[in-house]
Structure 1
Amino acid sequence: MPAYISITRATGLWSLLGLLSLGGCEVGAPSLSLVGSYFPAWILCSLIGVAVGLAARVVLSATRLAEAAAYPLVVCIAIGAIAGILAWLAFYRA
């Protein structure tokens, strides 16, 4: 059996697995129309979380609470994650 047949089968298998993984992308998924393109709504919520996390870092540094916290990076990431999840719940609660 030539080698190119096994490569073709492997490529076909990966293509099939890729197509099967798209089953969760339905028409009813929450999306936003921005400049004529549809973006998943989780991108907006993650950007809100990143912005709140960065703002938390600025506030912690300005008030010198970053020095008192054991792991200030983890605290800022947690604050950002909580803000992103709350934004999702506020905007897209089903």
Structure 2
Amino acid sequence: MLSLLLSGCALRGAPSYEIFGAYFPLWLMSALIGFVGALIAHRIFVSTGFAQIVPFQLFVCMAIGVMIAVLFWLSGTGHLP
């Protein structure tokens, strides 16, 4: 029974990227890229005047950032072709 519960555990470690000699986990890189994506989306909304039309800008920009982070995560783990 215990081997069935532990079958999902692997010894290969978490996916990570080497940047300037240090290893950063993929989830941290995904969060940073998602945050930057949300900031860029907000800047685009403000510069085009779309920010005056869109209600709940915080939630819209957060959703865009989450989508970018999830897409980066999926591409980094190999689940996105």
Please report the TM-score for the alignment, with normalisation by the length of structure 2.
Answer: 0.74
- Which sections of structure 2, spanning at least 5 residues, go unmatched? 1-8
Identity %: 36
Q: Which residue of 2 aligns with 1:82?
A: 67
Aligned length, in residue pairs: 71
Amino acid at match of 1:35: F
Q: Output aligned runs, 1:41-56, within 5 Å.
A: 41-56=26-41
SS in 2 for 1:86: helix
Match of residue 15 from structure 2: 30
Distance in 1 (CA, whole Å) between partners of 2:70 and 2:44 is 21
In the TM superposition, what is the alpha-carbon distance from 1:48 to its structure 2 partner? 0.8
**Displacement after TM superposition at 1:40 (Å):** 1.2
Provide the rounded CA distance (Å) in 1 between the counterparts of 2:41 and 2:72: 16
> Which residue does 1:11 correspond to in 2?
none
Larger Rg: 1
What TM-score, normalized to structure 1?
0.65
Larger relative CO (CA 8 A, sep 6+): 1 or 2? 2
Instruction: Report which of the two has the higher share of helix.
Output: 1
Provide the residue aligned with 2:42 in structure 1: 57
What is the deviation of 1:67?
A: 1.1
Unmatched 5+ residue regions in structure 1?
1-23
Distance 2:20 2:41 in 1: 30
